[in-house]
Amino acid sequence: MRVGELKTDRSVTIGGVTLIPVARISTYSKVHKENAIFIGSKTPVVLVVLAPGSTKVLEMDGEEVPPDEIPGLKEVIAEMQDRMSARSVEDER
């Protein structure tokens, strides 16, 4: 069973502010002889708000939380920021 992998969904950018939903993906599979079972779930965790000069992380109830509080989130945010900066470099060309 793979539990708790954080993944980003499609981001939305409005007026220079980017909203990135982050969900926890859990999967389970079992194969026995001729039978197989596959189960998966996707649970929303936080909304990351990237604005020029600031990054905020909001729980589903709207409460702000530090990125350190959610294991693996800092890496996800860094990856998204890298992708966004690479996209902006391509747009400038």
Domain count of the fold of the chain: 1
Give the confidence band of 89 by pLDDT, cuts at 50, 70, 90: low
Give the confidence band of 93 by pLDDT, cuts at 50, 70, 90: low
Q: Which domain holds residue 58?
A: 2-92
**CB-based contacts of 82, cutoff 8 Å, min separation 6:** none
| pTM for this model (two decimals) | 0.74
> Taken in order 10, 11, 13, 19, is the CA torsion positive or negative?
positive
The span from the CA of 57 to the CA of 70, in Å, is: 10
- The pLDDT tens digits for 49-77 are 988 888 899 999 999 999 888 888 888 88
Annotate 1-61 with DSSP letters as a single string.
-EEEEEEE---EEETTEEEEEEEEEEEEEEEETTEEEEEEEEEEEEEEEEETTEEEEEETT
Q: What is the pLDDT of residue 87?
A: 67
